[in-house]
Amino acid sequence: METIYEKIGLQRVVNASGRMTYLGVSTLSDEVAKAAVEGGQNYVVIADLINKAGELISTHTGAEDSCVTCSASAGIAISMAGLISKGQRSIMNRLPDTTGLKNEVILQKGHSVEYGAPITTIMRLGGAVPVEVGNANLVYPEEIEEAIGEKTVALLYCKSHHCVQKGMVSLEDMIAIAHRHDLPLVVDAAAEEDMRKYVAMGADLVIYSGAKALEATTSGFITGKKEYIAYCKKQYSGIGRAMKVGKEQIMGLIAAMDRYDNIDHEAQAEEHLKTVNYLNEEINKIPYCHASLLQDEAGRKIYRSKVTFDKECGMTATEISNKLKEGNPSIHCRPNQLNLGVIMFDVRPLVKGDTELIISKLKEVMKGA
């Protein structure tokens, strides 16, 4: 059956890359889609909905309050704007210009990542001046302390597979340093799966994507201390206006959070593991291919297929990846280690029949080797 995108002349995409923004992140369950449709078909006072959504989201995170956003990136920008302006209209009206204000946000060098856009660019949208501390492979706690000055407004910790974590100061220590200096600690936890962990650890604001682990509509949220969340909500009368979140997105997110709490995540991880093992078994039958099991770099219970190739095949991993993308269906693998000669397949986003399509297409590509 043709997908809705094929009907308008686009390729069918097999997403074996992960919950990536450039591929549409994730697919919606019937429950989430129904909630989004019903939300879109009715009217509501948006400010009231944002406040109610904050209450409902917080029952899932254990935080004092939450602020719904259109994405995790918007959550970063809005958090920065909120902490700098503290909800003061005169400051909000001049953002992102924060010249002369307390506007510096400290992050570790290994956390200054590019995830489709530089995190520092998104911080600047909210008026923050990023202060990168230490080196990409090693940061000392005293380097963070020594960077704190009169213009420091917050510390930011990025919890992501994109980051360098080896040699970085731990989140526990970052929280302790921030609070020792009466500063808030913000965690970018966009793709993380535990919605309570970082609030429970003492982080002041935690930012999540709705469309990644939760498989919600395109959305996100900031969760944490009530005072700081209030500053964030006020940004919808400022820079947040350009990042406004629709009623259908909000209702889809609420439904997705309810659904997420009822999923047996251990059983789901086991099913994904079985799929990876089956995929590896079949790939290992293909000439020149060697598949093995790889667990997520950030330590989550996410399992992927790691495939390397004999030099005799005459192609690099990048060339093989490009050939997999050609034609219809277009198969997208995880690109993180292509430069190291490795193709990775993430099975979480796969729908029925995708596994067989990957095996068939890879066989076809290797026949030309």
Residue 80 · residue 126 · CB < 8 Å: yes
CA distance linking residue 56 with residue 67, whole number of Å: 10
226 and 295 share one domain: no
- What pTM value is reported for the model? 0.92
Alpha helix (H) ranges present in the chain? 30-40, 46-61, 72-85, 89-92, 119-125, 141-147, 171-180, 197-201, 226-234, 247-261, 265-283, 317-325, 354-367
220 and 277 share one domain: no
β pairing state of 303-309 and 289-295? antiparallel
120 and 220 share one domain: yes
Residue length, the chain?
369
207 and 138 share one domain: yes
- For the chain, 369 residues long, give each residue's pLDDT as a single digit of tens: 788 998 999 999 999 998 888 888 999 999 999 999 999 999 999 999 999 999 999 999 999 999 999 999 999 999 999 999 999 999 999 999 999 999 999 999 999 998 889 999 999 999 999 999 999 999 999 999 999 999 999 999 999 877 878 899 999 999 999 999 999 999 999 999 999 999 999 999 999 999 999 999 999 999 999 999 999 999 999 999 999 999 999 999 999 999 999 888 889 889 999 999 999 999 999 999 999 998 876 667 788 999 999 998 999 999 999 999 998 899 999 988 899 999 999 999 998 889 999 999 999 999 876
The count of other CB atoms within 10 Å of the CB of residue 146 is: 10
Per the structure, the count of domains in the chain is 2
The encoded tokens of residue 157 equal 């910790």
What is the torsional sign of CA 202, 208, 212, 215? Answer: positive
Q: Which of 234, 261, 288 is the last residue of a domain?
A: 261
